[in-house]
């Protein structure tokens, strides 16, 4: 009989971050150029398969919803780098950004993304936002373990960044 390893819910992450899947979504209003909105999405995520749904707005106008669902390692690494780069601001907000399904939520400016930049948005942004949700790995799959995994990973990156900056002249 094989023995179970007791590791307190931790699991070694061979990919260097706690994320296992991403869901990104952006709305394309009837007045917007769909190609530009698609380009904004792919500039921050890379070449990904995008699905599209059309819904009717309040005034009867068509609204396209462009979304991405993937477990692609390159895409996850890109988004992990974004989260890490904003670690100081995210560390104090983890409990409110991580939902009960262990999805870590943040939004980026659609306009900045089109220009190839990542700008984290709180509230509204001129031109709209791209919603990003990153599924956090946790074994067993409990919110508390996901929160701990995310907090430890982010704290380690924030500490490493501070150590690197303190050695520069």
Domain boundaries, the chain: 19-24+69-163
Query: Is-contact 15 77, C-beta < 8 A?
Result: yes
Coil vs helix vs strand at 112: helix
Would you call 56 helix, strand, or coil by DSSP? Answer: strand
Pairing of strands 51-56, 129-136: unpaired
Q: How far is CA 166 from CA 72, 152, 153, 156, in A?
A: 34, 21, 20, 15
| Residue 117: strand, helix, or coil | coil
- Read off the pLDDT band of 121 (50, 70, 90): very high
Task: For residue 62, give both structure tokens.
Answer: 């068509």
Predicted structure pTM score = 0.84
Q: Contact 65/52 with Cβ under 8 angstroms?
A: yes
In tens, the pLDDT along 62-117 reads 999 999 999 999 999 999 999 999 999 999 999 999 999 999 999 999 999 999 99
CA-based angle 76:22:16, to the nearest 5? Answer: 30
Domain 19-24+69-163 in this protein, CATH class = alpha beta
pLDDT for residue 42 is more than 90: yes
Q: What is the pLDDT of residues 137-169, one digit of tens each?
A: 999 999 999 999 999 999 998 876 555 444 444
């Amino acid at each position: 009989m094989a023995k179970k390893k007791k590791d307190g819910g931790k699991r070694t992450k061979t990919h260097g971050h706690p994320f296992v899947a991403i869901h990104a979504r952006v709305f394309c209003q009837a007045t917007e150029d769909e190609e530009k909105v698609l380009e904004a999405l792919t500039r921050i995520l890379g070449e990904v398969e995008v699905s599209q749904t059309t819904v009717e707005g309040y005034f009867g106008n068509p609204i396209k919803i462009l979304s991405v669902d993937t477990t692609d390692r390159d895409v996850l690494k890109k988004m992990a780098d974004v989260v890490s780069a904003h670690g100081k601001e995210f560390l104090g907000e983890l409990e409110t950004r991580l939902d009960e399904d262990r999805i870590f939520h943040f939004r980026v400016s659609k306009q900045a993304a089109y220009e190839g930049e990542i700008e984290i948005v709180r509230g509204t942004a001129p031109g709209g936002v791209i919603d990003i949700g990153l599924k956090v790995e946790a074994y067993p799959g409990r919110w508390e373990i996901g929160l701990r995994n995310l907090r430890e990973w982010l704290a380690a990156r924030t500490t490493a960044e501070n150590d690197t900056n303190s050695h520069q002249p």
